[in-house]
Structure 1
Amino acid sequence: MSLFLSVIFILIYFVSKGDTESEFYLRLSKRATIAAQAYLDANELNIDIYNDIRIRHLMTLPNEKEFIYPVDTERKLVLGKFDKSLPARFYENIFNEEYAELKIDDYYYVGLLYYDKEGDFIVVLSATDLYGSGKLDNLRNTLLVAFVISILFIFILGRIYATQALSPISKINNEVNSIRAENLSFRLGTEYGKGELGKLAKTFNNMLDRLQISFDLQSNFINNASHELRNPLTAILGQTEIALNKERRIEEYRSILKNIEFEASRLDYLVNGLLKLAKTDFDSKGIVIEPIRLDELILDIKQTIDASIPNNKIEFDFEELPTSEDAITLLGSESLLKVAIGNIIENACKFSDNKKVSIKLFSDNDFIFLTVKDKGVGIPESELKNIYDPFFRATNVRGIEGFGFGLPLAYRIIKMHSGEIRVFSQIDKGTLVKIKLPNKNTTQNL
């Protein structure tokens, strides 16, 4: 702002200075014309009258001097003695333009070419502009005072405005800095309106919502994991203590060992699930990426499920498969995708009590689509938002064996492969899982 004011005030000063000089040159030129007429066109009486009028009415200019030189216009020469202290360019301009202006220090010079019946003459009139200089000095001092006052006024007004403008930001900053892990439920106020500060506060609140959800999920995960791990360990320790408490028959030892084996198997399954879940937290680093035909992968999964659930009723619909192999081929980790899709298909069999499970595979130019539909117990609509949380199990399937790993693990693996998964379900009508994965060509162009 100070720079802007400086430019404006300097511009005002130099424009005023130019106008003052132009005005003074005009006065000098008029006086030079009058002087030439008085001296060259009249007798001695006229000269005396002119001097009297100039002194009484026109007022003699400060340090005013008049010079009239006869000249030869054809050869552009000044005849006789003339003031050689003035630059030759000044006289050249008079001959060429019939008028010239010059300023040396505080003196202003005006020269004009005057034609008379007695010959041609150059009239030079000089003076100093004390009045104009005084006006410019006053203007300069006024502008300096106005500049200082303006800067002080702008500084004070700017401080007041900045304090008012930055006060909400400082308040937001203090409120955000006061948030800790123990008060993540705190939210910024809504008094910031709908402007930029309001958007900033809303953004912070949204971020806090995500952080609180993450903390709650982590807390629930730890609590659930601790609970699930403690149950088989407690059972194993309890059975071992019973076995060592006294001498028992071989049959009793066998029974205890079978119980221990069962709980150890549950513990092994749980630990493996936790390890797989943890592995999916590390993007795709260290994972072997290879081309995978999804139809072949699904058939391999079917063979695995046939061994674990021999009475399954899985049906395939491959009628819309494309003729191009690349259209159903994707780049990814075969082992991880087998886990993800296998969990989804196994859940469909398990929660439908081995009723019909329909699997459809098709594709377009960019993506591969897989749908898994069952006629099982379904998921309550109010609980669909929690299905990707580890250890979460719907309220209507608590009696069915499982830990709540399958869908969260599948969700993370599919996300790692730049895919999408959507689940639609109705109580006692079944569940539909839709999976969308980029094919080989699309992945290479990402």
Structure 2
Amino acid sequence: MSLTLRLTLLFATASTLVLLLLGYLIANSVDKHFEHQDMELLTGKLALAQHAVENVRSQRDVDALPRQLADSLIGHHGLEMLVALPGSKTLFATAEAQFPQSLSNHANADVTGGAMWRSAEHHPMRGIARIVRTGFPANPMVVIAVGTDVTSHEQFMTSFRWTLWSVVVLAAVVTGLLGWMAARQGLAPLLAMRREVEGITARRLDARLSASAVPTELAELADTLNGMLGRLEDSFRRLSNFSSDLAHELRTPVSNLLTQTQVTLSKARSAQQYSDILASNAEEFERLARIISDMLFLAKSDSDLVIPSREPVDLMKEVKDALDFYEALSDEKHVSLSCSGAGKVVGDKLMVRRAISNVLSNAVRHTAPGGRIVIEVRDRHEMVDIAIENTGETIPEEHLPRLFDRFYRVDWSRQRQSDGAGLGLAITRSILRAHGGDATVQSANGVTVFRLSFAATP
């Protein structure tokens, strides 16, 4: 069911219920009004008859009573009256007086509320009765019943209800139509947003929805969709760059292997030459293996990398072991190494060691001869940081946010200055995030600081 149809049905249903309730209240009020009018008339005539009966003192008064009561009814068409003794002897009755036993019988005559019945001609009647004490000793008690024909009221109410319910049905149809038009008009901005979204393709991920041109209720939705489009655009751009970089990185060793193999097969070679060529090919295969291994690791990290093991890891010990490994290379470049602090985390020791080694390798490689590398381990209770500081060229600020991207290099010419594939820092950040932390970098005034943050508890 479409949203427009749902809103139309809800609007029509709500308005119909309101109209039905209003119609019921109006009809009930009119009916009560007629009943009140009838009861006022009947009560007045009953009081007049009661006054006449209470003044009866002699037989002469009894004989004059019918004429007196008949005169009181002149000008009231459809009004009937009955005055009877307890033994059902009638003292006075109009020509068409037909009262039910509940009113005319002495035992049930004390009725103060109106009673409804139908006459022999099936006319609706409303009446009341009362037991009255007279001043005539022979007839001390009489029953006075007064009734009126309410046919005109009933016909009016029947016609009124028919008209009222017809108007309610017509109003329900009209409000349903107006509700549909209002829903269509109200949902027009949503339809416009749909048309805008339909025009967004992989080639137009930079398009955004006009949040200022939609109602306030849809502005947040438009902002959310724009945020989603921004994330998709960024992810798509990264994926495109990643595919391009991966093809570039794999093309070079494959091209080297293919060229070298074709040259080798072009003529006969000596055993030593074949051995040298195979050794060179083995180096390229090792490079390809490292790239593939790193890519598999990053692919696993994109799917919520699971830490293989959780064990206490002494970060200071891992830092010292890494410094021992790079000590020979640093001595060759006359780079001083120092470390301080202490801290322990729970995680995978091999992953932690790899993250520290990746950053330290970059630091040793980019530190100018005669420079220094300072490592500080600091326990901040919830997080444990490793700050690796090295001197050297300042990294331009525009490169810092993308330094941990895959295959990203500050050198945009993409000329390799080392055997690395540009995946070390990306792997480092994946390892840190798998351990509940992150990796950041700052560079200013010839000093670059990589900060590795681990969650203290798993």
Report the TM-score when normalising by structure 1: 0.81
Distance 1:184 1:310 in 2: 51
3-state SS of the aligned residue for 2:148?
strand
Preserved CA contact (<8 Å) 1:112 1:122: yes
2:24 — aligned with what?
A: 10
2:384 — aligned with what?
A: 368
Distance 2:114 2:74 in 1: 24
Q: CA deviation at 1:418?
A: 2.4
Q: After superposition, where does 1:85-100 map in structure 2 within 5 Å?
A: 85-86=101-102, 94=110, 99-100=112-113
Judged with a 3 Å threshold, the aligned counterparts in structure 2 of structure 1 residues 90 and 51 are, in CA distance, closer, same or farther, namely: closer
Q: CA deviation at 1:33?
A: 1.1
Is 1:439 paired with 2:456?
yes
Q: CA deviation at 1:273?
A: 2.0
Preserved CA contact (<8 Å) 2:320 2:339: no
Q: After superposition, where does 1:91-130 map in structure 2 within 5 Å?
A: 94=110, 99-104=112-117, 106-118=124-136, 119-130=140-151
2:438 — aligned with what?
A: 420
Which of 62, 74, 79 does residue 55 from structure 1 map onto? 74
Distance 1:236 1:245 in 2: 14
2:253 — aligned with what?
A: 232
Is 1:67 paired with 2:85?
no
Distance 1:392 1:115 in 2: 116
Preserved CA contact (<8 Å) 1:100 1:112: no
Distance 1:89 1:343 in 2: 113
Preserved CA contact (<8 Å) 2:100 2:117: no
Preserved CA contact (<8 Å) 2:377 2:385: yes
3-state SS of the aligned residue for 2:373?
strand
Q: CA deviation at 1:39?
A: 4.0
1:348 — aligned with what?
A: 363
Q: CA deviation at 1:53?
A: 4.5
Which of 184, 196, 210 does residue 205 from structure 2 map onto? 184
Q: After superposition, where does 1:43-442 map in structure 2 within 5 Å?
A: 43=61, 47-56=66-75, 59-60=76-77, 62=78, 64-69=79-84, 80=88, 85-86=101-102, 94=110, 99-104=112-117, 106-118=124-136, 119-190=140-211, 192-193=213-214, 195-248=216-269, 256-285=277-306, 287-306=308-327, 313-318=336-341, 328-330=344-346, 332-353=347-368, 355-395=371-411, 400-401=417-418, 402-426=420-444, 429-440=446-457
Preserved CA contact (<8 Å) 1:352 1:430: no
Judged with a 3 Å threshold, the aligned counterparts in structure 2 of structure 1 residues 124 and 417 are, in CA distance, closer, same or farther, namely: farther
Distance 1:38 1:357 in 2: 126
3-state SS of the aligned residue for 1:55?
coil
Comparing 354-363 and 408-417, the one that deviates more: 354-363
Preserved CA contact (<8 Å) 1:69 1:123: yes
Distance 2:200 2:216 in 1: 23
Preserved CA contact (<8 Å) 1:425 1:432: yes
Judged with a 3 Å threshold, the aligned counterparts in structure 2 of structure 1 residues 81 and 309 are, in CA distance, closer, same or farther, namely: farther
3-state SS of the aligned residue for 2:155?
helix
3-state SS of the aligned residue for 1:180?
coil
Q: CA deviation at 1:381?
A: 0.9
Q: CA deviation at 1:89?
A: 12
1:73 — aligned with what?
A: none
Preserved CA contact (<8 Å) 1:315 1:358: yes
Preserved CA contact (<8 Å) 1:90 1:102: no
* Residue identity in the other structure for 1:173: R
Comparing 217-226 and 304-313, the one that deviates more: 304-313
Which of 39, 52, 64 does residue 38 from structure 1 map onto? 52
Q: CA deviation at 1:90?
A: 10
Q: CA deviation at 1:161?
A: 1.2
Is 1:28 paired with 2:46?
no
Report the TM-score when normalising by structure 2: 0.79
Distance 2:314 2:22 in 1: 74
1:261-313 residue CA offsets vs partner (Å, 9 max, x unmatched): 44333333322222222221221347334443434443444444447766564
3-state SS of the aligned residue for 1:392?
coil
3-state SS of the aligned residue for 2:374?
strand
Share of identical aligned residues, percent?
23
Distance 2:325 2:109 in 1: 108
Distance 2:157 2:204 in 1: 68
* Residue identity in the other structure for 2:353: K
1:324 — aligned with what?
A: none
Comparing 132-141 and 384-393, the one that deviates more: 132-141
Gaps of 5+ in 2: 1-13, 91-98, 119-123
Distance 1:190 1:116 in 2: 89
* Residue identity in the other structure for 2:70: N
3-state SS of the aligned residue for 2:436?
coil
Q: CA deviation at 1:392?
A: 0.6
Q: CA deviation at 1:258?
A: 4.9
1:211-238 residue CA offsets vs partner (Å, 9 max, x unmatched): 1221221111111111111111211222
Preserved CA contact (<8 Å) 2:352 2:431: yes
* Residue identity in the other structure for 1:438: A
Q: CA deviation at 1:393?
A: 0.6
2:8 — aligned with what?
A: none
What count of residue pairs does the alignment treat as equivalent? 418
Q: CA deviation at 1:399?
A: 6.1
Judged with a 3 Å threshold, the aligned counterparts in structure 2 of structure 1 residues 343 and 113 are, in CA distance, closer, same or farther, namely: farther
3-state SS of the aligned residue for 1:393?
coil
